[in-house]
Amino acid sequence: MKDFYWENNIYNKGLNLNKYPFDNVVSFAFRNRNSINPKTVLDIGCGAGNNAWFLAKEGFNVFGIDGSVSAINYCRNRFVSENLKGNFIVGNFKHLPFKDGFFDLAIDRASLTCCNLQDCQIIVNEINRTLKTKGKFFFNCYSADHSSMLSGKQNQDGTWSSMKKGSIAGVENIYFFKKEEISDLFKAGWNILSLVHKNHTNLLEDDSKHSEWEVIVEKL
Ligand SMILES: C[S@@+](CC[C@H](N)C(=O)[O-])C[C@H]1O[C@@H](n2cnc3c(N)ncnc32)[C@H](O)[C@@H]1O
């Protein structure tokens, strides 16, 4: 991807190389594992492969896609050095290079939220296409209640940049979701199984709020 923020400003500088999985991914995986028939899972915007690493260790058949060459090289090297199996692809996840009905599960830990709402709809449709019927998608994005949002400037496409405060200060082009936008994203072809809004208030930092959505949907 040309002029890709995450490649040029983050991963090729050795930043954001998360080592361990996020707790919400761990919970989702444990609720949906099947040790007898390993499930095939897509990690959308897999970054440094921290979530994929955990899934592979737990016996899932793991695929990851990310627009950053450096992040994908990092994933591949980590998997080789730890003798783990995984399939990693460099690409824009607006077009998923997988056939229809290929995956049992898909996860997105804070990657679609790096795109504008219009693109999110395209990506959600792609995820729907590549999941099996009854396949589940775990979607984790930032909420419009997040304190970082109003400390920044809104871009023409609705994302926010130049954020000065809160837990995601310094990150560029973030979309903050309202509840009705999430319902709209999943109105065709999905059943919403769980919709959780999480708010953490930092009392030592001007009561700043870290607000995010955790959504679990099932393909109809
Ligand atoms: C906040 S990071 C999250 C990384 C990882 N999911 C994690 O939990 O640590 C967002 C990721 O989305 C990727 N990304 C953003 N937009 C993308 C796009 N259109 N196509 C592919 N990857 C994209 C970035 O390269 C980055 O790795």
Atom of ligand 1 nearest to the CA of 115: 16
Spatial separation of the C-alpha atoms in residues 77 and 113, rounded to whole Å: 27
24 in any annotated domain: no
Can you give the pTM of this predicted structure? 0.97
Q: Quick one: which of 192, 157, 193, 194 has its CA closest to 176? A: 157
Confidence of residue 33 (pLDDT cuts 50, 70, 90): confident
> Ligand 1 centroid to 202 CA: how many Å?
25
* Structural domain span for residue 212: 5-14+38-219
33 in any annotated domain: no
97 in any annotated domain: yes
- Would you state the pLDDT for residue 84? 98
Atom of ligand 1 nearest to the CA of 50: 9
Q: Is the pLDDT at 36 greater than 80, yes or no?
A: no
Atom of ligand 1 nearest to the CA of 108: 6
156 in any annotated domain: yes
- Would you state the pLDDT for residue 13? 97
Region of poorest pLDDT, from 31-40, 55-64, 157-166 = 31-40
Quick one: DSSP state of residue 218? E
Give pLDDT tens digits for 47-97: 999 999 999 999 999 999 999 999 999 999 999 999 999 999 999 999 999
20 in any annotated domain: no
138 in any annotated domain: yes
Cα Rg for the chain, rounded, in angstroms? 17
Ligand 1 in contact with 49 (CB < 6 A)?
A: no
22 in any annotated domain: no
73 in any annotated domain: yes
- Would you state the pLDDT for residue 114? 98
Pocket probe mutation, ligand 1, options 114, 119, 148, max atoms within 8 Å of Cβ? 114
Quick one: DSSP state of residue 48? T
| Closest residue to atom 4 of ligand 1, CA basis | 47
Q: Assign residue 208 the CATH number of its domain.
A: 3.40.50.150
Number of domains in the chain: 1
